[in-house]
C-alpha cells in the first residue's frame, strides 16, 4: 500500500437499487416470506424455467401481480441484473458459485440460504472488495438455528463471563411428518440427497473430546422436547461453529453438536437405508431413494412439521451456572408448508436488512451477533414463527 493511501475500514457497500431477482420457485419459496419481500422491495422479479411456470407458482402462492415473472433463458438474467440489484439463489447449492460470479460481474449483491462452500467463500472475498453484500445461511438450518445460538451464547456470557468448566451445547433441527407414518418420513424433494447425506461422517464434541461418527445414524439418541420423544444424530462438521457462535476460548466444551431431528422410531424404520448406504453402492442408493420417494411422497393432504431446538448449559468452577433453550415447533397448513415458511421468512428479513443498507460488504450469515439476532427473532415472531425460551 502506498504511503499516501491511508488504511481504511471495511469497504462501504454499494447502495441497493431496490430490485430483487428471486431465482427458482421450488418448495422453499413460501408465500409469507416472498410476500414480505414484495411489500418491502421496490421491484421483485421471479425467475423460473419459463415465465408461465413462474406465473403459475406466483398464483399458487396467492401473489399474482405482486412480482414480475421471467424465463431463465441463457443470457436473460445477465442482461437484466443491474448494479445494486440483489440476486437471490433458490437453486441447488451447486449453482450458487455461478450465480454469485454473475452478481459480482454485474456489481449486484447476492443471497442464499445454504451453507458457505469454499467456492462461495472465495467469491465473497472478491465481492467484499467491490463493496457487494453476500448473505448466506439465512434460512431455517442454517439460519434460525444461528439466531438462537447467538442469543444463548450472549445471555450466558453476560451471566457467567468467558470462563467455564463445563459447557453443553446442542442444536437439532428436523423437517418431519406432522402425523408420523411407518417410515417416520415423507419425501418432498431431492430424495437421493437425503440418503447420501447419511454417508458423510459427522464431527462433533462429546464427553469433552472431538469425535467422528463415520456413520452418523450410529450416534442416534433419544431427545425429549416438551414431553415428546424424538431421535437425533450429529450431522456434518459441528466444530467450525464453535468460533462462528463466539464461544469463548475459556469455555471447556463437554458437548458441542449440531444435528438432525427425526420422529421417534426413525432409526428402526430406516434399517434398510442404513445397510444400503453402508455398502457404498451409489447406483443402489439412488434406486432405493427413488423407491422410497415413490412409496412415501408428500401429498396435498399431508402436513409437514418443523422442530428446531437449541440449548446451552454453562457451569463454572465456582458452582455458578446458566442454562437456556429455544424451541420452535411449527406445523404447516393448507396455505403454506412449515418448511417453506421457516426457510423463506428469515431470508426475506435478511433481504430487507440488505436493502436498508444494514449489512456490510462481504460475507454475512444470519445475524452474527446477539443484538442483531434479536431483531431477526422479533420479526419472525411477528409472522407466526413462535419461538419459546426456557
45 close to 66: Cβ distance less than 8 angstroms: no
Largest CA distance in the chain: 71
Q: Using CA atoms, how far apart are residues 110 and 27, in angstroms rounded to an integer?
A: 20
Q: Which of 112, 119, 118 lies closest to 98, judged by CA?
A: 119
Which is it for strands 109-111 and 133-136: parallel, antiparallel or unpaired? parallel
Are 36 and 345 within 8 A, CB to CB?
A: yes
Please calculate the CA angle 276-28-245 and round it to the nearest 5 degrees. Answer: 80
Say whether 141 is catalytic.
yes
φ, ψ dihedrals at 62, nearest 5°: 75, 30
Q: CA 143 to CA 365: how far, in whole Å?
A: 8
Beta strands in 227-303 (DSSP E): 228-234, 251-263
Note whether 85 and 109 are within 8 A (CB). yes
Q: Pick the catalytic residue: 4, 48, 118, 141?
A: 141
- 121 dihedral zone (left: phi>0; alpha: psi -120 to 50; beta): alpha
Q: Hey, which residues are catalytic here?
A: 141
Amino acid at each position: 500500500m502506498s504511503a499516501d493511501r491511508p488504511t481504511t475500514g471495511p469497504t462501504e457497500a454499494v447502495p441497493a437499487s431496490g430490485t430483487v431477482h428471486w431465482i427458482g420457485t421450488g418448495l422453499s419459496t413460501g408465500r409469507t416470506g416472498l410476500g414480505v419481500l414484495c411489500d418491502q422491495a421496490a421491484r421483485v422479479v421471479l425467475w423460473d424455467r419459463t415465465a408461465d411456470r413462474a406465473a403459475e407458482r406466483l398464483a399458487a402462492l396467492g401473489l399474482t401481480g405482486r412480482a414480475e415473472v421471467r424465463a431463465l433463458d441463457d443470457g436473460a438474467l445477465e442482461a437484466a441484473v443491474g448494479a445494486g440489484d440483489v440476486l437471490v439463489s433458490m437453486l441447488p447449492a451447486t449453482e450458487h458459485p455461478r450465480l454469485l460470479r454473475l452478481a459480482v460481474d454485474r456489481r449486484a449483491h447476492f443471497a442464499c440460504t445454504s451453507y458457505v462452500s469454499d467456492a462461495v467463500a472465495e467469491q465473497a472475498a472478491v465481492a467484499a472488495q467491490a463493496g457487494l453484500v453476500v448473505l448466506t445461511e439465512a434460512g431455517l438450518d442454517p439460519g434460525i438455528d444461528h439466531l438462537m445460538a447467538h442469543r444463548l451464547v450472549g445471555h450466558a456470557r453476560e451471566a457467567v463471563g468467558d470462563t467455564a468448566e463445563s459447557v453443553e451445547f446442542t442444536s437439532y433441527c428436523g423437517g418431519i411428518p406432522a402425523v408420523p407414518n411407518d417410515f417416520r418420513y415423507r419425501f418432498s424433494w431431492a430424495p437421493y440427497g437425503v440418503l447420501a447425506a447419511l454417508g458423510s461422517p459427522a464431527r462433533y464434541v462429546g464427553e469433552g473430546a472431538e469425535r467422528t461418527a463415520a456413520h452418523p445414524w450410529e450416534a442416534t439418541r433419544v431427545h425429549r422436547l416438551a414431553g415428546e420423544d424424538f431421535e437425533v444424530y450429529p450431522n456434518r462438521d459441528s466444530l467450525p461453529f464453535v468460533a462462528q457462535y463466539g464461544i469463548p476460548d475459556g469455555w471447556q466444551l463437554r458437548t458441542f453438536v449440531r444435528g438432525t431431528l427425526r420422529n421417534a422410531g426413525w432409526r428402526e424404520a430406516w434399517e434398510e437405508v442404513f445397510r444400503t448406504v453402508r455398502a457404498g453402492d451409489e447406483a443402489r442408493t439412488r434406486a432405493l431413494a427413488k423407491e422410497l420417494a415413490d412409496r412415501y411422497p408428500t401429498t396435498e393432504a399431508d402436513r409437514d412439521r418443523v422442530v428446531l431446538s437449541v440449548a446451552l448449559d454453562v457451569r463454572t468452577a465456582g458452582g455458578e451456572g446458566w442454562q437456556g433453550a429455544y424451541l420452535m415447533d411449527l406445523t404447516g397448513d393448507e396455505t403454506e408448508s412449515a418448511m417453506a415458511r421457516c426457510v423463506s421468512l428469515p431470508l426475506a428479513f435478511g433481504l430487507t436488512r440488505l436493502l436498508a443498507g444494514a449489512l456490510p460488504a462481504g460475507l454475512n450469515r444470519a445475524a452474527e451477533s446477539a443484538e442483531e439476532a434479536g431483531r431477526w427473532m422479533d420479526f419472525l415472531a411477528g409472522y407466526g414463527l413462535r419461538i419459546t425460551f426456557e
